Structure 1
């Protein structure tokens, strides 16, 4: 009798274990490929010394999500910010920030000319303040405009005397899609949307190279 009861319990026990396994696997995080989100990668950083100062160059790689492209096609401008900080390392205390610089970029589609306009400014491009001191570039395609945004060149960090003559310099570079400069209704609508989370940060100890 005991063996018969035991045999009857086995199918029930297996069924319970199967359900536990199903629930457990459903709660597991999705594979890395399924969790991929729009983002950016900093592929290059270079510190150069020129006659008029020290400059940082960087390269960023990212893909523009289709949702962001749709916003651009409607005539709404989007904004990117590149920021660099240079620190002096101190063994006896926290590192001292020696220099900080920002670059603001505004990308917009011009329906009348069917071209893409990129404004570049050291200040946030809001109204006439940033637009008045911005560098304007026009491109035939969105791809060409994005290539210009991804190549961050000649971010001036300061004079050589201000930077110092250490063999290596600690530099932090950040890049992001800045939703705070979008029109107010869009700022509310994009909160929490992964498509608008394009950002990257990298810290490296760089040697100061002579500009060729």
Structure 2
């Protein structure tokens, strides 16, 4: 019985040590930007994009926010189909088949709260995790007027979206650091969206 108990506790101890070794790896793997939802639909005669991202900042960016340095993330939409119609629309409506929306994250030490400014609207959050959950999350973002498109053409609309840290919005000394350090660059892969449901 004693031999069984000794082997049992050795196995438990080995599993705990393995879990302790893997924990830092899983924490590092969680850093970055992951797309949780990306959808396109036509509403109110416009192509509307809805998205949600999981943004986990590496330690140096968390420290930067705590020091009062605002971080700006850029959500970009690109129209991928139909390209010929996109060119015609650029001439007719002066529309560039790319649209962007900014999410600015700031920390206020005096109130110990975080603020996220999306376009011209701002919301306050108690924790960094809550604030980062708002970054890249949008519903019904109108990126293209399709009021003069017929129903069949609307169903062919396709595009792609991505979220990235806008290094150009950092204060100048941090821009120089960011250019030399790969861990400052954060961006999600492109997510494809289509009105007809395909990709």
Work out whether the TM-score is over 0.5. Answer: yes
Alignment of 1:144-163 (within 5 A): 144-161=130-147
For the pair shown, the structure with the greater C-alpha radius of gyration is 1
Asked if structure 2 preserves the Cα contact closer than 8 Å seen for 1:101 and 1:155, the reply is no
Counterpart pick for 2:189 among 193, 197, 201: 201
Tell me which protein shows more helix as a share of its residues: 2
Pair 1:40 & 2:33 matched: yes
Paired residue for 1:80?
73
Q: Distance in 1 between matches of 2:73 and 2:193?
A: 25
Change (3 A) 1:72 1:159: same
Q: Do 1:87 and 1:95's aligned partners in 2 also have CA atoms closer than 8 Å?
A: no
Shift of 1:52: 5.3
Counterpart in the other structure of 2:94: none
Structure 1 CA distance, aligned partners of 2:81 and 2:148? Answer: 11
2:47·2:146 contact (CA, 8 Å) conserved in 1?
Answer: yes
Normalising by structure 1, report the TM-score: 0.66
> Following the alignment from structure 1 to structure 2, what is the Cα–Cα distance between the partners of residues 77 and 47?
30
Deviation at 1:116, TM superposition (A): 0.4
**Per-residue deviation, 1:36:** 6.1
Instruction: Show structure 1 runs of 5+ residues with no match.
Output: 1-32, 122-133
What is the SS of the residue equivalent to 2:180?
coil
Q: Residues 139-166 of structure 1: CA distance to partner in whole angstroms, max 9, x if unpaired?
A: 1111111111142322211223256533
2:179 aligned partner: 191
TM-score, normalised via structure 2 length: 0.70
Match of 2:101?
103
For the residue of structure 1 that corresponds to 2:195, the secondary structure is strand
5+ residue gaps, structure 2, are 1-24, 90-96
